[in-house]
DNA sequence: GCCAACGTTGGC
DNA sequence: GCCAACGTTGGC
């Protein structure tokens, strides 16, 4: 089981809406590196849900319910998406500032590649993030 | 609102 | 294949 982090602006699709919907197709990714990460995802992988721009914090944990398939919002066949389902919210959101200051998280792609919207998280990093967010 | 980072496009 | 111009993302 691998760990990932996806970014979303809360004004586009907030965690609360995700929870309300119960599941969602993670469509619309139009960046090759992010797409390649999507394609590496497997069912039951865990996904940290990060609110970008407004919020700037991890707000919950989701899981992959369906591995990569063709993004239905893409006519060209170039892009992929996965299906996600919320698991549980953070007891406390993990802020970007906390992440920056936490030992062991300095290699997180979130800090190194600010524009990447789908990125891997190592098991070690995931353990730290779960602890910080009150996620078991 | 600004701007750094960085991906994409298109002329050459 | 190079690179300037341009657009987007996202933190500040």
- The whole-number Å distance from A12's CA to C5's C1' is 29
The torsion of the CA quartet A36, A124, A64, A76, rounded to 10 degrees, works out to -10
* Residue A123 Cβ under 7 A from any strand B atom: no
pLDDT digits (tens, 9 = 90+) for A61-117: 999 999 999 999 988 888 999 999 999 999 999 999 999 999 999 999 999 998 999
pLDDT digits (tens, 9 = 90+) for A4-41: 999 999 999 999 999 999 999 999 999 999 999 999 99
Place of tokens 């524009």: A115
- The whole-number Å distance from A114's CA to B1's C1' is 19
**What integer pLDDT is reported at residue A136 of this predicted model?**
78
Beta strands in A17-79 (DSSP E): 24-25, 46-51, 57-70
* CB-count burial class (<10 Å; 0-12, 13-18, 19+) for A116: middle
The more confident residue out of A136 and A14 is A14
Contact (Cβ atoms closer than 8 angstroms) between residue A62 and residue A17: no
Residue A115: which nucleotide is closest by CA–C1'?
C9
Q: How far is the CA of A77 from the CAs of A58, A70, A72, in angstroms?
A: 31, 7, 9
**What integer pLDDT is reported at residue A48 of this predicted model?**
97
> Where is A100: in which H helix or E strand?
helix A96-101
**Average pLDDT, integer, range A112-132:** 94
**What integer pLDDT is reported at residue A77 of this predicted model?**
86
Residue A112: which nucleotide is closest by CA–C1'?
B5
**What integer pLDDT is reported at residue A75 of this predicted model?**
82
How many angstroms separate the CA atoms of A117 and A14, rounded?
15
Number of domains in chain A: 1
Specify the pTM.
0.94
* Residue A109 Cβ under 7 A from any strand B atom: no
* Residue A73 Cβ under 7 A from any strand B atom: no
Which residue segment(s) compose the domain that A74 sits in?
3-133
pLDDT tier at A127, thresholds 50, 70, 90: very high
A14: domain CATH number? 3.10.590.10
């Amino acid at each position: 089981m691998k760990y990932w982090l996806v970014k979303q602006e809360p004004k586009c699709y907030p965690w609360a809406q995700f929870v309300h919907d119960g599941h969602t197709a993670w469509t619309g990714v139009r960046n090759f590196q992010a797409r390649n990460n999507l394609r590496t995802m497997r069912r039951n992988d865990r996904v940290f849900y990060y609110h970008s721009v407004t919020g700037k914090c991890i707000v919950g944990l989701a899981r992959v319910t369906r591995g990569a398939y063709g993004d239905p919002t893409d006519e060209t066949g170039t892009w992929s998406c996965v299906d996600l389902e919320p698991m549980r919210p953070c007891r406390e959101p993990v802020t970007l500032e906390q992440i920056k200051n936490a030992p062991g998280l300095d290699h997180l792609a979130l800090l190194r590649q600010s524009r990447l919207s789908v990125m891997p998280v190592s098991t070690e990093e995931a353990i730290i993030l779960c602890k910080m967010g009150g996620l078991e």
